[in-house]
Amino acid sequence: MISKRKAAIGAILLILITSMSTFVISNMVQIPIKEKVIITKSEYNDLVSVYRKYSKNMLLEDFIKEYYLKDVDESTLLEGQLKGLFASVEDPYSVYMSKDEFKSFMEHTMGVFGGIGIYVAPGEDNLITVVSPIEDTPGERAGIKPGDKIIKVNGKEFTADKMDEAVKLMKGEPGTNITITIRRDIDGKPEIFDKIITREEIRVKTIKASMLENDIGYIRITSFDELTHKDFAANLKALKNKGIKGLIIDLRNNPGGLLDVSAKIADELMGEGTIVYTETKKKEREYLKSDKKMLGLPLAVIVNEGSASASEVLSGAIQDTKVGTIVGTTTFGKGIVQRIKELSDGSGFKITVSEYFTPNGRNIQGIGITPDFVVEIPENVEVIGVENLKQDTQLQKAIEIIEDKIK
């Protein structure tokens, strides 16, 4: 059976041949043609260019099928070519995904999936780097930390250019085990160890709110998915009804998510102005602006090295507009934006299309956002947040800042 792609190339060859009464092929073999098709010189050159572009692919594909030791499915070869096309741009955030891979990827934005509950990103060292574990998931309970490097999954080595394959392997049926090999720098020395983790159904609860002492509201945002803004607005309204005099937003270990959701939350806080703008390689800019009233209360935002992407959009907007104070440690540093597109067969891709800039024009790619008050968490502290307020030095500092502003 002839593939559609080969049929298309064959059609191009036919047009090339029928454009003249006689066409000379290699070895000077002449093929007589009865009918003539008139095309312009420009069209002819375009057709020749297309043939030259794809003839090598066809030749190598046929060679693999003919001589490779094992049988190879044609769809597998085509998928490999598509993956290679995206890999050639050398951007770990731009990838082609098969139907199953794309479905798995989109589950994250919906907030429910089976796995161990960690967010990862490509590191500058080409290693799969943990951005953050998801709260109250197997990954967090196993002690996985931001900055850990995942070097093996079930004994198979992976690097960042194979991250999607590794993520697919880490996902699976709840109740099944998986072994993750981690490299962690401890006191400047790398240590490698295995963790056997049991998968669960991960239901991401992106918003947690509570009332602290002295009428201070606290909202923790763990990621930005489709429901996050709605939940944030509802919890903020509930806290206001309780009479809060200040607000702390905790973005620690928040790996990001949907940019427009992050912008909607900023719109609840900062008043009229620019939240973020993006810029393409053609220097085309798109602005996301806030047009609502300001929060009108003292505001502090806590970040750390696990705060990335959409988290940095929110914290950068708040810092630049001086609506609130940023506390913690320097953020992850992801200042680029991807577009996601599904294809007709269920496969899809994501591709980096622009950089984003804070209101003051800062691009934080590879740099991150430095807090107004840099506060480290002691190394022996495993739990952060209101559950461990006595040891959470970053939250303590945020409370201190809010209390001073209230006074």
Residue 135: pLDDT band (50, 70, 90) is confident
Domain locations in the chain? 4-72, 112-202, 205-406
Check 104, 223, 262, 309 and give the catalytic one. 309
pLDDT digits (tens, 9 = 90+) for 367-387: 999 999 999 999 888 889 999
**Of the segments 119-133, 197-211, 233-247, 373-387, which one has the largest average pLDDT value?**
233-247
DSSP 256: -
Mean pLDDT over the full length of the chain = 87
Active site residue 320: yes
Q: Which CATH superfamily is domain 205-406 in?
A: 2-enoyl-CoA Hydratase; Chain A, domain 1 (3.90.226.10)
Active site residue 290: no
Active site residue 334: yes
pLDDT of residue 4: 46
Q: Which of helix, strand or coil describes residue 336? A: strand
pLDDT digits (tens, 9 = 90+) for 68-109: 999 888 888 888 999 999 999 999 889 999 988 888 788 766
Overall pTM > 0.75? no
- Residues pairing with 149 in the sheet: 129, 183
Check 320, 347, 354, 392 and give the catalytic one. 320
Residue with the bigger pLDDT between 280 and 92: it is: 280
Q: Which residues contact 49 (CB under 8 A, 6 or more apart)?
A: none
Residues found in the chain: 407
Token pair for residue 63? Answer: 């060679």
Q: Which of helix, strand or coil describes residue 190? A: strand
DSSP 70: S
For residue 96, give the H/E element and its range: strand 95-97
pLDDT of residue 350: 94
Q: Is the model's pLDDT at 308 over the cut of 90?
A: yes
Residue with the bigger pLDDT between 42 and 301: it is: 301
Q: Is the model's pLDDT at 354 over the cut of 90?
A: yes
pLDDT digits (tens, 9 = 90+) for 211-246: 999 999 999 999 998 889 999 999 999 999 999 999
Helices vs strands, H then E, count in the chain: 10, 21
pLDDT of residue 8: 47
Check 334, 347, 354, 392 and give the catalytic one. 334
Residue 112: pLDDT band (50, 70, 90) is low
pLDDT of residue 34: 52
Q: Which residues contact 92 (CB under 8 A, 6 or more apart)?
A: 121, 122, 160, 161, 163
Residue with the bigger pLDDT between 9 and 44: it is: 44
Percent share of the chain, pLDDT over 90: 62
CATH architecture, range 112-202: Roll (2.30)
